[in-house]
């Protein structure tokens, strides 16, 4: 049986973000692909969540027996669009320090610049604990390789219409906050976690670290992804 694992990084990142996780999953026998989303390839393309979702769907292997979509952070937005447009194409979805979003969600509809560079968010991310457990070398690599996030991926609301997406099996890897916190924040109406209230087949697991576990805890993250992929 062939199982494809598609790894999609979040804001500012390309496929390289998964370089430590890819060989660990391949060693477990999985067909692994890491994807650089449109607009994050250095081209400066003006794209929104819909175009990024199209790229994810196109990269999923229709011939595989099982397809596992792994989305980190802001990639949960186009990832949820994929579930909505192609609910039969994803057998399991893994949200890494993220959650499915709801219809009408936009990361920041008030952003008034064409792109969101990492510099605009660096201090807030660092001081908020998102970069916990990263080495100085990892932080330097992150900052030097990050590319500006296309503005439309931040401001453009998603349109979700197919309720079948709500039943796609999934795993939510909770890192900066615990799974109990995730549930509590979702019930309180935190926008980025609101989808947890509607999706019916999600399992929440804890991996205490910062927001980028593919760098801070690659082996542990690979194990959780492999467990999800094995069904």
Once rounded to an integer, what is the mean pLDDT over residues 29-41?
Answer: 96
Q: What is the pLDDT of residues 161-174, one digit of tens each?
A: 999 999 999 999 99
Once rounded to an integer, what is the mean pLDDT over residues 197-220?
Answer: 98
Say whether pLDDT at 48 is over 90: yes
Classify residue 200 by burial, with Cβ atoms within 10 Å: 0-12, 13-18, 19+: exposed
3-state helix, strand, coil in the chain (%, to 5): 40, 15, 40
Q: What is the pLDDT of residues 190-203, one digit of tens each?
A: 999 999 999 999 99
Domains in the chain (CATH in brackets) are 3-230 (3.40.50.1820)
Q: What is the pLDDT of residues 120-144, one digit of tens each?
A: 889 888 778 899 999 999 999 999 9
Q: What is the pLDDT of residues 66-121, one digit of tens each?
A: 999 999 999 999 999 999 999 999 999 999 999 999 999 999 999 999 999 999 88
What band does 44 get if pLDDT is binned at 50, 70 and 90? confident
Cα 224 from Cα 207, distance rounded (Å)? 9
Provide the mean pLDDT of the chain: 96
33 within 8 A of 59, measured Cβ to Cβ: yes
Once rounded to an integer, what is the mean pLDDT over residues 143-161?
Answer: 96
pLDDT at 45: 83
Structure tokens that stand for 110 in this block: 């008030």
What band does 43 get if pLDDT is binned at 50, 70 and 90? confident
């Amino acid at each position: 049986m062939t199982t494809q694992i598609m790894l999609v990084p979040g804001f500012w990142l390309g496929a390289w973000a998964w370089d430590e996780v890819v060989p660990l999953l391949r060693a477990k026998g999985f067909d692994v692909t890491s994807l650089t989303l449109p607009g994050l390839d250095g081209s400066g393309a003006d794209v929104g969540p819909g175009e990024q979702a199209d790229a994810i769907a196109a990269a999923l292997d229709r011939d595989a027996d099982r397809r596992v979509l792994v989305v980190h952070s802001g990639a949960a937005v186009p990832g949820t669009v994929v579930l909505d447009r192609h609910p039969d194409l994803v057998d399991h979805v893994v949200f890494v320090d993220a959650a499915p979003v709801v219809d009408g969600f936009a990361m920041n509809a008030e952003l008034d610049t064409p792109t969101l560079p990492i510099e605009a968010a660096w201090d807030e991310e660092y001081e908020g604990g998102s970069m916990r457990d990263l080495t100085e070398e990892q932080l330097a690599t992150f900052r030097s390789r990050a590319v500006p996030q296309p503005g439309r991926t931040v401001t453009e609301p998603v349109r979700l219409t197919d309720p079948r997406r709500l039943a796609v099996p999934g795993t939510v890897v909770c890192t900066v906050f615990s799974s109990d916190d995730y549930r509590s924040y979702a019930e309180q109406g935190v926008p980025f976690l609101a989808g947890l209230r509607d999706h019916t087949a999600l399992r929440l697991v804890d991996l205490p670290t910062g927001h980028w576990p593919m760098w801070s805890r690659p082996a542990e993250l690979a194990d959780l992804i492999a467990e999800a992929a094995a069904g």
